[in-house]
Amino acid sequence: MSTALHPTGLPSLADIEAAAEVVYRAFPATPQYQWGLLSERLGTSCWLKHENHTPVGAFKIRGGLTYFDQLARRGELPHEVISATRGNHGQSIGWAARAHGVPCTIVVPHGNSTEKNAAMRCLGVNLIEHGDDFQAAREHAIALAQTRGAHMVPSFHPDLLRGVSTYWWEFLRAVPALDVVYVPIGQGSGACSAIAAKQALGHRVRIVGVVSAHATTYADSLAAGRVVEAPVSTVLADGMACRVADAAALAVLGPGLDHLVQVTDAEVAQAMRALFTDTHNVAEGAGAAALAAALQERSTLRGQTVGLALSGGNVDAGVMAGVLGSA
């Protein structure tokens, strides 16, 4: 299936509102809180959107729900779906596939999060381990889908953006005074959906993309104006561990982002500790990246209302213990 956007561009306000009806059949809108200690740490008013409070602990479930809803509406539910993931996208597709009675196979790289793997299996997913990184797993999933005649669910697609946009739509409506938001970039659905919600609502918020300094394909590609493959060495931010950027996502991110921030694993670990200390919420590496970027730019944020996405909380217990213990 092509990952090109619809001819009309990003999801419209009507698209997002219709997607919200689909999402809310599975769970309610997630909360956003103005945590006092977090605002104090950042030196300005800060709101945190809790996408770690969905049924799979991450924002991705919204996209899976609307992707399958669109397949069903078109009468195109397949006999099997296959996809690739580092964990949260796979849980999203596994959840939605189970709800529609469609068998689901997910490919993950070797050494993937054991707890994310367990969560996917619990949803009835047939889990396959292949390759050393996400790109290798993705390429194997594509080949497997072709061999089996199965439907390959991409990581970036307009029908995924429909659902993911609902969380930014919620956030911008709940806190209309937001001046700037920080959003992590894995394959791009989260940041592109923030841009979609901003445009749909006519909001003035500035959107800052966040990438791992150890996985720079999006930073390099945006700078070059074309897809540039980059090595991945992050050991903490697996949700951002992409080697090859998506061209369709780049087309949205280029004009839609205010700027881009790169965060190191050390900065991500610091942000994970800060979120636990200030809010007693657990964040996975990618889930803490927004705060890591905001802390990096702290001196420029005084007097502004900042929005952060805690995009996921699915971190292995041992990893979290190590992060907390390294303070």
Query: Is 315 inside a domain boundary?
Result: yes
**Is there a domain that residue 204 lies in?**
yes
**80, 102 contact by CB (below 8 A):** yes
**Alpha-carbon gap, residue 236 to 177, rounded angstroms:** 32
> Is residue 114 domain-shared with residue 50, that is, in the same domain?
no
Mean pLDDT of 126-136: 94
The token pair that represents 68 in the structure block: 């399958």
Nearest to 33 by CA among 313, 307, 296: 307
Whether residue 148 is found in the same domain as residue 265? no
- Residue 243's pLDDT band, with cuts at 50, 70 and 90, is very high
Q: Is the dihedral of CA 108, 185, 60, 73 positive or negative?
A: negative
In a domain, 7, yes or no: no
Domain-located, residue 186 = yes
pLDDT given at position 6: 42
**Radius of gyration (C-alpha) of the chain in whole angstroms:** 18
> For residue range 132-162, what is the model confidence (pLDDT) as tens digits?
999 999 999 999 999 999 999 999 999 999 9
Mean pLDDT (whole number) for 295-314: 97
Contact 190, 309 (CB under 8 A): yes
Same domain, 201 and 278: yes
Integer Cα distance of 89 and 315 in angstroms: 14
Of 152, 167, 193, which residue constitutes the final position of a domain? 152
Indicate the SS3 state at residue 21. helix
Choosing from 105, 123, 152, the residue where a domain stops is 152
- The alpha carbon of 82 is separated from its chain's Cα centroid by a whole number of angstroms, namely 19
| Alpha-carbon distances, residue 65 vs 7, 88, 124, 185 (angstroms) | 22, 13, 16, 20
Looking at the fold, whether 239 and 195 belong to one and the same domain comes out as yes
- Split at pLDDT 50, 70, 90, the class of 327 is confident
Q: The domain spanning residue 126 has which CATH number?
A: 3.40.50.1100
Average pLDDT, the chain: 95
Structural domain contains residue 46: yes
Q: How far apart are CA 59 and CA 168, in angstroms?
A: 10
Asked if 55 and 68 sit in the same domain, the reply is: no
Dihedral (Cα; 231, 118, 291, 35), 10-degree rounding: 180
Residues 255 and 294 reside in one and the same domain:
yes
Residue 1 lies in a domain: no
Rounded to an integer, the average pLDDT of 50-72 is 97
What is the pLDDT at residue 9? Answer: 73
Please check whether residues 136 and 232 belong to one and the same domain: no
Same domain for 43 and 178, yes or no, is yes
pLDDT digits (tens, 9 = 90+) for 180-235: 999 999 999 999 999 999 999 999 999 999 999 999 999 999 999 999 999 999 99
Enclosing domain of residue 125:
61-152
- Euclidean distance between CA atoms 265 and 233, whole angstroms: 10
Does 6 fall in a domain?
no
**Model confidence pLDDT, tens digit, residues 248-295:** 999 999 999 999 999 999 999 999 999 999 999 999 999 999 999 999
Q: How far is CA 291 from CA 140, 157, 183, 193, in A?
A: 34, 26, 9, 19
Q: Is the pLDDT of residue 19 over 90?
A: yes
Q: What's the rounded Cα separation, in Å, for the pair 244 and 275?
A: 29
Q: How many domains does the chain have?
A: 2
Based on the fold, state whether residues 35 and 180 are members of the same structural domain.
yes
Residues 109 and 192 in one domain: no
Same-domain pairing of 112 and 237:
no
Which is higher by pLDDT, 78 or 8? 78
Range in 165-169, 239-243, 296-300 the model is least confident about: 239-243
Q: What one-letter code names the amino acid at 194? A: A
> Does one domain contain both 40 and 167?
yes
Backbone angles phi, psi at 210, to 5 degrees: -130, 125
Stated as kind and residue range, the H or E segment containing 72 is helix 61-73
Q: Rounded distance, CA 82 to CA 39, Å? A: 42
Which of residues 152, 182, 213 is at a domain's end? 152
Residue 8 domain-assigned (yes or no): no
